[in-house]
Amino acid sequence: MNSTVNYAQVITTDSSLPFSQLREWALRILAPAAPAILLFGLISNIINIIVFFKAGLKDNVTILLFFLAISDLTFIILITPTPCTLIVLRFARSWSWPFQPDFTYFLLYWPAFTAYDLSAFISVSLGVMRCACVAMPLKFKFVFTRRRTILTVFVLFVLAVSLRIPMLSIFRVAWRTDAATNVTTAYLAAVNRVAMSRINDVMNRGLVVWINYTIMVSCVALLSFKLSEASKIRRSCTFNNDSTSEKTAVHGLSPKDLQVVKSVVIVCVIFIFSQLPFLLYSTARLINPELTSTSRMRKLFSFLSHVSLTCSYLNASLNIFVYYNYNSKYRSVLISLLPSRKNH
């Protein structure tokens, strides 16, 4: 999810360009919805961090979900100035800016999506680890230790930052003086932007996103098959009143393990669907370089960017529902933290 929108598009009133109505729909509906989604994501991820920490960072799934909440929270905090700038430009056009609007729009944009990339890598790792433990539990049961899982997250952090260096390194804070008013304002100056953007398009918007997506879909397919297999065996055991077989039939997975697998599958599915708009849009950009913020197709580019951004906000905000419904430890810790429980 790496969509950029030139802020000048928002105040462009040329409706003769293709896809103008789509862009207008995105500005009227998706842009105002962003603050509510981000506020919910801010609160939900703070809750997730507290609950997972209280639950104890002892197993690889809890550790990965803890760091996933941290990276999602970081993304939400850093990306918030971007939609806020967009809303001001759209609904308060007479606002007198003390700096250039691109300053707040882009200053934290790429650091935010570096955090989002880390969330994607953690989600993929979560799927891979669960697949390995489900497919070959005896072989991988003691491979993914607490120490190795934390080390994996650190490596993924370094990888996420390294892959984004082309975009993280091009912006500089500069100052511009208006000769008429003698007022100096801050703006973002970009160095070698075209070349670095192209590298970013090919690497992060092409190769990396497709690798992540392919691995994630494969993991979901395998885990879903195992869940289906477990469900059939459970029904068979219930029919035959064989409770012992039910507990041990599916590669030694307990009912608790199956709930963990379900939660991982749903987290992965949320990732898959939230990434799909960006995957299609970024691939289209590689095929058709004219799909940019400055071409005749800029209205379509803007619309697709808004959809992709909104999906990224949702992806970083909705996991709390999965944890509460499918993670019994998470649910019990969360309920124990509620004030009403403490008063009884």
**DSSP-assigned letters across all residues of 255-268:** HHHHHHHHHHHHHH
CB atoms within 10 A of CB 250: 22
Token code pair at residue 244: 């012992």
Residue 1, pLDDT score: 45
Pairwise CA distance, residues 177 & 3, whole Å: 30
Residue 219's contacts (CB-CB under 8 Å, 6 or more residues apart) are: 124, 127, 128, 130, 131, 268
How many Cα neighbours within 13 Å face the side chain of 77? 11
Residue type, position 168, single letter: L
Q: Which CATH number fits domain 7-332: 3.30.2020.30, 1.20.1070.10, 3.40.50.150, 3.90.245.10?
A: 1.20.1070.10
Token code pair at residue 171: 């912006």
Token code pair at residue 37: 């989604």
| Element of type H or E holding 171 | strand 171-178
Pairwise CA distance, residues 90 & 35, whole Å: 14
Token code pair at residue 230: 């477990």
Residue 87, pLDDT score: 84
Pairwise CA distance, residues 299 & 27, whole Å: 11
Pairwise CA distance, residues 86 & 289, whole Å: 25
Radius of gyration (Cα) for the chain, nearest Å? 23
Q: Where are the domains of the chain?
A: 7-332
Pairwise CA distance, residues 90 & 28, whole Å: 9
* Residue showing tokens 């850093």: 78
Query: How large is the greatest C-alpha to C-alpha distance in the chain, in angstroms?
Result: 88
Pairwise CA distance, residues 90 & 96, whole Å: 13
Per-residue pLDDT of the chain (344 residues; tens, 9 = 90+): 444 444 444 444 455 555 667 777 777 788 888 999 999 999 999 999 999 999 988 888 899 999 999 999 999 999 999 888 888 887 777 777 777 777 888 889 999 999 999 999 999 998 888 888 777 766 766 777 888 999 999 999 999 999 999 888 888 888 877 777 777 777 788 888 778 877 887 787 778 888 988 898 888 888 888 777 766 665 565 555 555 544 444 445 566 767 777 888 888 888 888 888 888 877 777 777 666 665 666 677 778 888 888 999 999 999 999 999 988 889 999 999 888 644 54
Phi, psi (deg, nearest 5) at residue 277: -60, -45
CB atoms within 10 A of CB 164: 22
CB atoms within 10 A of CB 169: 12
Signed CA dihedral, 7, 8, 10, 11: sign only: positive
pTM of the model as a whole? 0.83
Residue 283, pLDDT score: 76
Residue 157, pLDDT score: 96
Phi, psi (deg, nearest 5) at residue 185: -125, 155
Secondary structure letter of residue 276 according to DSSP: H
* 230 CA to centre of own chain: 30
